[in-house]
């Protein structure tokens, strides 16, 4: 088994000192993997991402990234190490232009700001076309692309995505999943919390089912998508066709 890029063990924490939403969570993400984090509402999925990203301070547990302990580090310090977080809400500055949003995303490494903006304009032509437009004028799917591009300004090795398709139309969600797969093929590992669980499993190598703040199930994404118990309890419906998934690279 290859070394993990991210290794989380017995992580605990929440939004207040006495508030423990995440209760002993454990997971890992290998280099170049897409890993889905699914489960019922209120299970602590988004809170877990925020604890990993440094937006919340853990009460206990271990978070190792690139074989370095990062639990308790502030979010900017975590980002400098190559881990970027895209929140579900308020993930762009609506009154600023697309270009200004990208500049905000790249403030930690100003020396590389312009080259990385040029690279992102090439990757996402829509952003180049709308670089002078205010972010609030973009469609929901376009705003999500901008939010991910802001996170990519730090050239991360691992991208944490919190409900990236929330509020999007089915077509926009499908296009966004395509973007996530393309980013992963270029070497960016992804840990994704997603409400469209079957679709998330279809593009993931592995997945965890979070229940009451801890991972109750884990395994290959296609196996979990086909598991009757998991599907009935958390997903609903029948398994989606597997679109991609980097399954051969599972560490």
Domain boundaries, the chain: 6-91+156-249
Q: Please give the Cα distance from 211 to 22 (Å, whole number).
A: 9
Q: pLDDT value at position 248?
A: 40
Question: What pLDDT is attached to residue 46?
Answer: 96
Q: Which CATH class is domain 6-91+156-249?
A: alpha beta
Query: Is the model's pLDDT at 243 over the cut of 70?
Result: no
The mean per-residue pLDDT over the stretch 109-129 comes to 95
**pLDDT at position 241, please?**
45
pLDDT of 109 > 50? The answer is yes
Per-residue confidence (pLDDT) for residue 171, from 0 to 100: 93
| Residues sharing a CB contact under 8 Å with residue 13, sequence separation 6 or more, in sequence order | 20, 21, 22, 47, 51, 56, 57, 58, 59, 60, 61
Q: What is residue 236's predicted lDDT score, i.e. its pLDDT?
A: 53
pTM of full prediction above 0.75: yes
Question: What does the pLDDT average to over 211-230?
Answer: 91
Query: Does position 220 have pLDDT exceeding 60, yes or no?
Result: yes
Least confident of 16-20, 45-49, 150-154: 16-20
The arithmetic mean of pLDDT across residues 28-43, rounded, is 94
Query: Which helix H or strand E contains 60, and what residues bound it?
Result: strand 60-65
Residues 150, 118 contacting (CB under 8 angstroms): no
- Write out pLDDT tens, residues 173-198: 999 999 999 999 999 999 999 988 88
Average pLDDT over residues 117-144: 96
Residues near 209 by beta carbon (within 8 Å), at least 6 away in sequence: 38, 39, 215, 216, 217, 218, 224, 230, 234
Q: 150 burial class (0-12, 13-18, 19+ CB within 10 angstroms)?
A: buried
Rg (C-alpha) for the chain, rounded Å, is: 17
H or E element that contains 172: helix 170-185
In this predicted structure, the answer to whether residue 133 has a pLDDT above a threshold of 50 is yes
Average pLDDT, the chain: 90
């Amino acid at each position: 088994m290859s070394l993990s890029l991210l290794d989380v063990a017995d992580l605990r924490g929440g939004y207040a000192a006495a508030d423990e939403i995440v209760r002993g969570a454990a997971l890992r993400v290998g280099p170049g993997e897409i890993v889905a984090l699914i489960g019922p509402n209120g299970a602590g999925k988004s809170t877990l991402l925020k604890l990993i990203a440094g937006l919340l301070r853990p009460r206990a547990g271990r978070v190792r990234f690139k074989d370095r302990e990062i639990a308790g580090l502030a979010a900017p310090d975590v980002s400098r190490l190559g881990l970027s977080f895209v929140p579900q809400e308020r993930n762009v500055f609506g009154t600023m232009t697309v270009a200004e949003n990208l500049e905000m995303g790249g403030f930690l490494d100003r020396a590389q700001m312009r080259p990385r903006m040029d690279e992102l304009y090439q990757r996402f032509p829509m952003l180049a076309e709308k670089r002078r437009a205010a972010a609030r004028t973009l469609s929901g799917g376009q705003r999500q692309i901008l939010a991910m591009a802001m996170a990519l300004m730090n050239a991360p090795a691992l991208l944490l995505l919190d409900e990236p398709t929330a509020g999007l139309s089915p077509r926009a969600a499908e296009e966004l999943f395509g973007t996530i797969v393309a980013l992963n093929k270029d070497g960016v590992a992804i840990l994704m919390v997603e409400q469209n669980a079957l679709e998330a499993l279809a593009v993931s190598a592995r997945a965890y089912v979070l229940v009451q703040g801890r991972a109750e199930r884990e395994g290959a994404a296609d196996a979990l998508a086909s598991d009757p118990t998991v599907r009935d309890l958390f997903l609903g419906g029948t398994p989606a066709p597997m679109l991609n998934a980097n399954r051969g690279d599972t560490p």
